[in-house]
Amino acid sequence: MSDGAVLIRGGRVVDPISGVDEVLDVSLANGVIAEVGKDLDSAGAEVVDASTLVVAPAFIDLHAHLCEPGGEHRETIASGARSAAAGGFAAVCAMPTTDPVTDDPASVGFVAAAGRRAGAARVYPVSNVSVGGEGKALVEFGEVLNAGAVALSDGGRSIRSTALLRLAIEYAQTFDVPIMTHGEDADLAGAGVMHEGVVSTRLGLPGNPGVAETIGIARNVALAEMTGGRVHFQRVTTARGVDLIRQAKARGVRVTAEVTPHHLVLTHEDVEGFRTDRKVDPPLRTRADMEGLREGLADGTIDAVATDHAPRHYDEKEAAFADAPSGVVGFETAFAVLHTRLVLEGAINLVTLIERLSAGPARVLGIEGGRLSAGAPADVVLIDPNEEWTVDPATRLSKSRNTAFGGWTLRGRTVGTYVDGRCVWQRSPA
């Protein structure tokens, strides 16, 4: 065994791509997975006892806001990468909604370099689709991809101009990268601050109707179908949206989709009492929508769970609901929330959850990772499926505390994360 080799011994190895789900050893060497098998030779390797743990491909987050440059009081690339590693993520996509925006080789290069310096989860820059995120002119796709961008997105903004979006999807075909889109009719979503329905009516808050998403997704599906290009749907929130994506996939349209943990376990009723800690964009929707998202996650219509990690400084959420900014932090609770609420309650199984957190997002991006077979990058997460813990916003690694799950008791926790065979995070014994 080579220097720095690691043998993860006797864990329940779950690798959705190879279909492995049994007690095995996993050896890591030279930054890649050397071998997966029974009773592997431990000579010269650091041995990690995983006999009570699940060993899985480390997670990949398609959607995170690391706030640097411009929002360092909320999060930095370094703090975000550490928080991600603590949540079992080996890689996170950093959205370009920074200040200044990430839309040219220099800004993309900055994010990539800061990510490498952080030495925690890999940080994959995502560049804006349009210059300045203004929806008017395309950025230099080739240049930003050369500088390290893995995909293109205008972040939380829907590209209003259907003509520009068409050009973006067509032009991206040269580079075979997905255009990540926020499927929403921006005019119809208007100034809505929560889902338009009986709760917004009772609370007297302006609503964002679910149909704004239906229309946005239908439009973007139509463009993907016409052009043959790749479109990824960020943060799908409606059952109808899931249906549209399912039908598009059945026709062979090259679309993929993500959903957030909070949309999978919370509804607009959880905003009752003007809970700014649960103000998110797009908003939490109805129970029927939540059920539709779960079905889509289970049947593979939804390819990936993405956190939409969006740190907010502690005093930003201390405001009236309409005035408070949207967003919740998500790295450190994503697995545990979904394991507790979806896996243990029977909505999906553990293998599916791990697939949607690892192999699924790798497939969306067309990158290495998300598998445990020999030769793959040694990106591994160790999970204690039985640990019970309570979410204390003050003890997370993110610089911000705006979790939607404060006080929740969860079961299952990520306890160690390896990137390129190197341990980037290990839960200290309690």
Partner 1 sequence: MTRPTSGFGKDLVGLEPLTAQQIRVILDTAEPFKEISERRIKKVPVLRGKTIVNLFFEASTRTRVSFEFAEKRLSADTVNIGASGSSVQKGETLVDTARNLEAMRIDMVVIRHWASGAAAFLAERIPSHVINAGDGAHEHPTQGLLDILTLRDHFGDIEGLKVCIVGDVLHSRVARSNIFGLLKLGAEVAVCGPRTLIPRGIEELGVEVFTRVEDAIEWSDALNILRLQLERMKGGFVPTLREYNRVYGVTLPRLEAAPRELLILHPGPMNRGVEIDSDVADGPHSVILQQVTNGVAVRMAVLYLLAGGAPDLAESAKSEEDV
Which residues bind to partner 1, rule: CB under 8 A? 196-205, 207, 209, 273-274, 315, 318-323
Two tokens at 61? 């987050």
Which residues is 61 bridged to in the sheet?
Answer: 92
> Residues 8, 46: contact at Cβ < 8 Å?
no
Q: How far is the CB of 209 from partner 1 (least distance, A)?
A: 7
Nearest-approach distance from CB 186 to partner 1, in angstroms: 16
Tokens, residue 179? 């255009």
Catalytic pick among 103, 281, 308, 379: 308
Query: Which residue, 3 or 315, has its beta carbon nearer to partner 1?
Result: 315
Shortest distance in whole angstroms from residue 212 CB to partner 1: 13
Annotated catalytic residue 41: no
Name which of 200 and 333 has its Cβ closer to partner 1. 200
Report, in Å, the least distance between residue 196 CB and partner 1.
5
CB contact at 8 A, 358 and 425: no
Contact yes or no for 402/396 (Cβ under 8 A): no
Peptide bond into 69 cis (omega under 30): yes
Residues facing 411 on adjacent strands: 388
Write down the least CB distance from residue 213 to partner 1, Å. Answer: 15
Nearest distance, CB of residue 270 and partner 1, angstroms: 15
Give catalytic residues, as residue numbers: 308
